C-alpha cells in the first residue's frame, strides 16, 4: 500500500486513491530518486558524470564519494528526515552535498546563495533546519560567517558544513565528512519512495518563499519524463549554467543527465572565457539557457574562445525563436514550476508551435484546467485563463502553510499557479501558450520577486510614506523592478543606491532591490480606490520608450 513510514508534520501527502491510480497507469515509480540514481551510477560506472574545472569525475567516483558523505552526515549526528539548508553555487561539491543528503535520507532545502537574513532566518526556523551547507571562498560575501550568524536566529541549527575553503572553528568541511570508509549502512538503508526528498522554494508569489515538498518518486518521475521528452542520451554532454539546485536546472538538466548516464559540464565562472573553457574541453551537445544569458554565449563565439559545433539542440523557456535564428540549432520551448507541472514542445513540432507555445504536459496523468481567475469556471479554447493543474508530480500543499494552501488549491485539489495561459487546438492536439501572470510579481531574469514583500521593505524606509512596486520592460531580463514612491513631507527622497543600502540592512536578497525609483505625489488608483498597477506599468513603459527615442535621436 503506498504511503510513508513516518509522515512529516506539515507535509501534505497525496491521497491514497490518487497514488494508486498513478501507480496503475505506470506514471509514478515505485522506487525513489536516490535509489534510481544509485542504479544509474552502477550502470554507467566508467562513464564521465561531471566535467569540472578541476577535472572529470566518473560515475563510480561520484557514487563512492556520495556514499562516504552520506555516512559522514550520519556520523555528524544528522538523522533521516532532518532538514538541511543548502546555500551554495555551481560546483561539483554542491552536487556531492545534494546526492549525499538524498542517500542519507536528509531533506535538502534548496535556497539561493543570494538569499540573506530575512529569507534564511525565516526558512531555517520554518523547517527546523538542523544544518546549513554553504560554499566557502566567495570574495564578495562570506557565506560561512553568514551561516554562523544564523545560528543565533535559528534555534535548531546545530551544524555548519562548508564546501571547499580552509578549516574554521565551529565549521565542518565537506571533505572531512567524506573520510568515512564503511558505507555498508548507506547501501542497506531503506528509503521510502513516497516520502519528501527535497524542499524547493516557491517562485516569490507570496511575501516569503513558501516551501515545496517534492516526494522522492514524484521528483524522479519529473526527471525521467524530461529525459525521455528531450531525448537525452548517455553520449550527451549537458551545459546549463543556472543555479544547479534551483528547480529549473535540477529537474530539467542535472537530474535527467545523471539518470541518463550523460555528463554534466560545470564552468569555473560565468564569464565568456569560463564558458569557452567548457565548450573547448567538454564539447556540450545539449545547452539550456534563458534569454538573458544568450549575449554571454554570443560573446564567447565572437571572441573566438570556442565554437558551438558540438551542440545538437538548445532548451530555452523564453528564447526558442531567438536561439534558432541566432545559432542555427533546434531549440525547444518549455514551461515549468517548482510546484510540479512541466510542459515541453517536441522536436517534431512546427516552428509556430515552438515559437508561440510551451507545448503540452509531459505525463499522461497530468490534468490541466484553465479557469477564470479567482473562480473555478473553466474557460474554452483561445480564451485566457489561470492555469490550474493536478498530477503525479504536482504538489498537494506547501509545507506547514494551511492558510496559503486554502488559497492555492481548488475545491478538488488542482493547484492554482497564478500563470495565465491560452489553450489552442493544433492538429487535433491541445497545446498551451503562456500569456502572463495573474499574481503580483515581477519576473526578473526568471527570478520571481513578490511585490508585496518588497513594498513592505521599501515602506520601512524612514523617508517613505507610501510605495508600489511594478515590473518595467527590459530587453535582457524580461522585467526589471521599479518602485513608485511617495516621500514624507520634508524628508529627503532616497535614490536607488540609498534604497539599496536600506534593503541590505533589511536582509533582502539583492536581486529583489528596485533598479529605478519614480517619485510621485500619490499612487495611481482605480475608480473604486484600489491601487492601479496597470496604470503604473503603462506609465513606466511609456517613459522608457520615450527615453529610448531621445537617446536614439541624440546619437545623430
> 469-521 pLDDT, tens per residue?
999 999 888 899 999 999 988 999 999 999 999 999 988 889 999 999 999 99
User: For the packed helices 117-127 and 143-150, what is the interaxial angle rounded to 10 degrees?
Assistant: 50
Instruction: Look up cell 551544524; give the residue.
Output: 159
Determine the pLDDT at residue 207: 58
The size of the chain, in residues, is: 556
Taking alpha carbons only, the member of 31, 368, 395 closest to residue 194 is 31
- 47 near 234, Cβ under 8 Å? yes
Sorted by sequence, the CB contacts under 8 Å of residue 545 that are 6+ apart come out as: none
Helix (H) or strand (E) holding 448: strand 447-450
Determine the pLDDT at residue 1: 33
Full-model pTM: 0.84
Least confident of 91-95, 241-245, 426-430, 548-552: 548-552
Distance CA(212)–CA(250), nearest Å, equals 14
Confidence of residue 2 (pLDDT cuts 50, 70, 90): very low
pLDDT tens for 377-416 read 999 999 989 999 999 999 999 999 999 999 999 999 999 9
Least confident of 19-33, 41-55, 227-241, 496-510: 496-510
- 487 near 463, Cβ under 8 Å? yes
Q: For the beta carbon of residue 167, count every other beta carbon within 10 angstroms.
A: 9
Which domains does the chain carry? 16-266 (3.40.50.12780), 333-437 (2.30.38.10), 441-554 (3.30.300.30)
Amino acid at each position: 500500500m503506498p504511503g510513508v513510514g513516518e509522515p512529516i508534520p506539515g507535509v501534505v501527502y497525496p491521497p491514497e486513491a490518487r497514488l494508486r491510480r498513478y501507480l496503475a497507469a505506470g506514471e509514478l515509480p515505485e522506487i525513489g530518486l536516490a535509489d534510481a540514481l544509485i542504479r544509474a551510477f552502477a550502470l554507467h560506472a566508467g562513464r564521465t558524470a561531471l566535467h569540472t574545472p578541476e577535472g572529470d569525475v566518473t560515475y563510480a567516483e561520484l557514487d563512492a564519494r556520495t556514499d562516504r558523505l552520506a555516512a559522514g552526515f550520519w556520523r555528524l549526528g544528522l538523522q533521516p528526515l532532518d532538514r538541511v539548508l543548502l546555500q551554495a553555487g555551481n560546483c561539483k561539491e554542491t552536487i556531492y552535498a545534494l546526492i549525499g543528503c538524498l542517500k542519507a535520507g536528509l531533506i535538502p532545502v534548496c535556497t539561493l546563495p543570494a538569499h540573506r537574513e530575512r529569507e534564511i532566518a525565516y526558512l531555517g526556523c520554518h523547517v527546523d533546519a538542523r544544518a546549513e551547507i554553504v560554499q566557502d571562498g566567495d570574495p564578495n560575501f562570506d557565506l560561512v560567517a553568514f551561516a554562523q550568524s544564523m545560528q543565533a536566529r535559528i534555534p535548531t541549527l546545530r551544524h555548519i558544513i562548508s564546501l571547499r575553503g580552509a578549516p574554521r572553528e565551529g565549521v565542518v568541511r565537506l571533505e572531512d565528512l567524506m573520510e568515512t570508509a564503511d558505507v555498508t549502512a548507506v547501501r542497506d538503508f531503506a528509503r521510502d519512495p513516497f516520502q519528501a526528498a527535497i524542499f524547493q522554494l516557491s517562485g516569490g508569489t507570496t511575501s516569503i518563499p513558501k516551501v515545496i515538498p517534492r516526494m522522492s518518486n514524484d521528483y524522479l518521475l519529473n526527471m525521467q519524463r524530461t529525459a525521455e521528452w528531450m531525448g537525452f542520451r548517455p553520449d550527451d554532454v549537458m551545459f546549463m549554467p543556472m543555479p544547479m539546485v534551483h528547480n529549473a536546472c535540477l529537474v530539467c538538466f542535472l537530474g535527467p543527465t545523471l539518470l541518463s548516464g550523460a555528463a554534466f559540464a560545470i564552468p569555473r565562472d560565468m564569464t565568456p572565457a569560463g564558458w569557452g573553457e567548457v565548450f573547448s574541453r567538454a564539447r556540450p551537445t545539449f545547452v539550456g539557457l534563458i534569454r538573458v544569458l544568450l549575449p554571454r554565449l554570443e560573446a564567447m563565439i565572437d571572441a573566438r574562445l570556442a565554437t558551438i559545433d558540438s551542440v545538437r539542440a538548445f532548451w530555452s523557456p523564453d528564447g526558442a525563436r531567438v536561439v534558432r535564428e541566432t545559432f542555427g540549432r533546434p531549440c525547444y520551448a518549455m514551461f515549468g514550476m517548482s510546484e510540479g507541472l512541466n510542459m515541453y514542445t517536441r522536436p517534431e513540432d512546427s516552428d509556430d508551435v515552438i515559437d508561440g507555445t510551451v507545448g503540452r504536459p509531459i505525463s499522461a496523468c497530468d490534468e490541466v484546467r484553465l479557469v477564470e481567475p479567482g473562480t473555478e469556471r473553466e474557460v474554452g479554447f483561445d480564451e485566457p485563463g489561470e492555469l490550474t493543474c493536478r498530477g503525479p508530480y504536482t504538489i498537494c500543499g506547501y509545507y506547514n502553510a494551511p492558510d496559503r494552501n486554502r488559497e492555492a488549491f481548488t475545491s478538488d485539489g488542482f493547484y492554482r499557479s497564478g500563470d495565465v495561459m491560452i489553450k489552442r487546438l493544433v492538429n487535433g492536439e491541445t497545446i498551451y501558450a503562456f500569456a502572463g501572470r495573474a499574481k503580483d510579481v515581477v519576473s526578473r531574469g526568471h527570478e520571481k520577486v513578490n511585490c508585496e514583500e518588497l513594498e513592505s521593505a521599501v515602506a520601512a524606509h524612514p523617508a517613505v510614506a507610501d510605495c508600489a512596486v511594478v515590473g518595467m520592460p527590459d530587453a535582457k531580463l524580461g522585467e526589471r523592478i521599479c518602485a513608485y514612491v511617495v516621500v514624507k513631507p520634508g524628508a529627503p527622497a532616497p535614490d536607488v543606491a540609498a534604497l539599496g543600502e536600506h534593503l541590505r540592512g533589511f536582509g533582502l536578497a539583492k536581486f529583489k532591490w528596485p533598479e529605478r525609483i519614480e517619485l510621485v505625489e500619490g499612487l495611481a488608483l482605480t475608480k473604486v480606490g484600489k491601487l492601479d498597477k496597470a496604470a503604473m506599468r503603462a506609465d513606466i513603459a511609456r517613459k522608457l520608450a520615450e527615453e529610448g527615442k531621445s537617446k536614439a535621436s541624440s546619437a545623430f
